[in-house]
Chains A and B, each alone.
Chain A
C-alpha cells in the first residue's frame, strides 16, 4: 500500500530551500512517491491553486494536499490558508501546516482558519524525520477527496 503512488500532486509551500529538501527526503523515505511541487512564496501558492498569474490556464490537476509553512514571503501562510478555505473551489483540499512555531495561539488560529493538521518542525532531526514520516503514513492512508 505504501509504495502505491497516488496520482496527485503535493504542493509544498516553503521558502526555506533546506527545509523543503529535508521534508521531501523524509516524505520519500516514508514511501510517498507523489509528484511534489515546491513554491517558495505565498503568492505563487495561491496562483497555482487558483490557476492565476503564471499558472493561468494551466491544465495541471488540483493538488491532493498542501503542505504549508506559515512564514512565507508576499502572502504569509495564514493568508494563504484563509484564501484556500474561503473558496469553494479549494475548500476541500487538505492543508497541513508545517512550521517552526509551536505558539499555542498560532496553532489555534490555524485550526480556526480550517487547517487540517498542524505539525511543528522540531529542531531535533530524529523528531523531525519522524514527524514527516508520520505525515507520509497519514497521507498514504487518507482518502483522496473528490475534485468537484
Chain B
C-alpha cells in the first residue's frame, strides 16, 4: 500500500518536472530566437548605416558644397546593398533634417530604424537612416514558438511516460518476485504435507499386509497343532508336498512379506522424520563446537581405533545456534567419515573451521574411500548410497544433514577423490537470529 502511494508521489513529481521542462522549452525557444534575431538585425543595421555613411562621405568630401544635389549618385549609393536586405528604406537627410535622397520600399510595421551621422571634415552635415521591418523576425518567431510547443509537448509526454514505464516495469518485476516467493512457500508447504500424507497413507495398507501376514502365521501354527492331533488325510507324495507347503513354502513367503514390510516401514519412517526436521522449532543457544566435536568423536572411539585413525581437530568457534541441529549435522558427517575410511590404510581425520565476516565454514576431511565424481550430487538425496555397499547404511544421513543445514540458512558441498579421500564442507551464516559467533 505504501508502495503505491510512493509511486503516485513519484509520478506527481515527475509530472511536475515534465511540465516545467516542457513549458520552458516552449517559451524559451521563440523568445530566444526573437532576442537573437533582433540583436542580429540591430547589429547589421548599424554596420550597414556605418558602411553607407562612409561611402556617402566620399561623395561629400569630393564635392562639399553641392553634394546634396547629386541625387542620382546618392541614390545609386543607396541602392548598393547586400543581397537579401531588400525590404528596407534608406534615407539621406541633411543637417536640418531635410530629405536629400531616398530609396523606398514597402515596410510593414513594426519598424526598426538606425541612423549614422554624415561628416565632412569632422563636422556633421547630415545623417543616413536605414529602416527595416521586424515583421519577418516576428513571423519566424511565431513559427519557432510552434516548434517550441511541439518540442515541449514531446518532452512533456516523454518525461511523463518514461518514469511511468519504469515504475510499471518495476511493479511487474516485483509482482513476479512475489509470485515466485508465494509459489515457493506453497510448494514447500506441499512438500511437507506430501511427506506427511505419504507416510501416513502408506502406513495404512502396511498395517494390513503385516496384520494379515500375522493372521496367516497364527492360522498356520494352529494348523500344525491340529495336524499333529488328527489323522492326516493326505498320503504319500501328496502328504509330503502338503507338509512342504505348510512347513516351508508358506512360512518362507510370510518371512519375505514381513521383512519387506519392515523395510518399507523403515523407509516411511525416514521420510516422516525428514519432513519433521523441517518443522522442528529451533532454539538458538551458545554452543562450543570444539567440545561438541570432541564429545562426538568419543562415541566413535571404537571405530576410530579399528582404523588406527589419527584425528586432528582445529580451533572451532563458539556459536549461538540450535544445539541439536549442529549435533546431528556434525554427528552424521563424522559418522560417515569414520564409516567410509576403507580398510586398507590408516585413517586420518581433520575437522577445522574458517570464520568469515558473515559465515563460518566447517570442514570434515577424511582419507577414506572417496566418492566418484558422478555420485557426489546423489549422496545428498534421500535413500541414495554410493560406491561399494560393504558397510551398512540407510542413505538417510546426508539427506538429514542437508535439510538441517538449509534450516540454519547454510549450504553443504563436497569435494572428493575416489580412493584418496573426501571433504564435506558446510557454511552457517552468522549475524542473524539463527546463528552468530559468541564474542
- A residues apposed to B, CB below 8 Å: 16, 18-19, 22, 25, 71, 100-101, 103, 121-126, 128-129
Asked if residues A128 and B207 are in contact (CB atoms below 8 Å), the reply is: yes
Interface of B, helix, strand, loop or mixed by DSSP: helix
Contact of A16 (CB < 8 Å), options: B200, B208, B262: B208
Give the chain A neighbours of B207 by CB distance below 8 A: 16, 18-19, 22, 100, 121-123, 128
B43 within 8 A of A: no
Q: Tell me the nearest residue of chain B to A16, going by C-beta.
A: B204
Given known contacts A71-B201, A103-B200, A123-B262, what 4 new A-B pairs fall within 8 Å (CB)? A100-B204, A100-B207, A123-B206, A126-B214
Q: Tell me the nearest residue of chain B to A70, going by C-beta.
A: B200
Asked if residues A103 and B196 are in contact (CB atoms below 8 Å), the reply is: yes
| Nearest chain B CB to A68 CB, angstrom units | 15
Q: How large is the interface on B (under 10, 10 to 19, 20 to 34, 35 or more residues)?
A: 10 to 19
State A24–B261 Cα separation when bound (angstroms). 22
Asked if residues B208 and A124 are in contact (CB atoms below 8 Å), the reply is: no
Asked if residues B204 and A125 are in contact (CB atoms below 8 Å), the reply is: no
Give the chain B neighbours of A126 by CB distance below 8 A: 214
State A101–B200 Cα separation when bound (angstroms). 6
A103-B196, A123-B265 given; A71·B204 CB < 8 A: yes
Asked if residues B261 and A123 are in contact (CB atoms below 8 Å), the reply is: yes
Asked if residues B203 and A125 are in contact (CB atoms below 8 Å), the reply is: no
Asked if residues A18 and B200 are in contact (CB atoms below 8 Å), the reply is: no
State A55–B261 Cα separation when bound (angstroms). 40
| Nearest chain B CB to A108 CB, angstrom units | 13
A71-B200, A123-B206 given; A18·B214 CB < 8 A: no
Give the chain A neighbours of B196 by CB distance below 8 A: 103
State A124–B207 Cα separation when bound (angstroms). 7
A-B contacts, 20 listed (Cβ < 8 Å): A18-B212, A19-B207, A19-B211, A22-B215, A71-B200, A71-B204, A100-B204, A101-B200, A121-B203, A122-B207, A123-B203, A123-B210, A123-B261, A123-B265, A124-B210, A124-B262, A125-B210, A125-B213, A128-B207, A128-B214
Q: Tell me the nearest residue of chain B to A18, going by C-beta.
A: B208
| Nearest chain B CB to A92 CB, angstrom units | 30
Q: Tell me the nearest residue of chain A to B208, going by C-beta.
A: A18
Q: Which interface residue of B205, B206, B210, B265 has the most chain A CB atoms within 10 A? A: B210
Give the chain A neighbours of B262 by CB distance below 8 A: 123-124
Contact of B210 (CB < 8 Å), options: A16, A25, A101, A128: A128
A123-B261, A123-B265 given; A22·B204 CB < 8 A: no
State A126–B205 Cα separation when bound (angstroms). 16
State A100–B215 Cα separation when bound (angstroms). 19
Give the chain B neighbours of A129 by CB distance below 8 A: 214
Asked if residues B200 and A22 are in contact (CB atoms below 8 Å), the reply is: no
| Nearest chain B CB to A95 CB, angstrom units | 20
Give the chain B neighbours of A125 by CB distance below 8 A: 210-211, 213-214
State A125–B265 Cα separation when bound (angstroms). 12
Asked if residues B212 and A22 are in contact (CB atoms below 8 Å), the reply is: yes
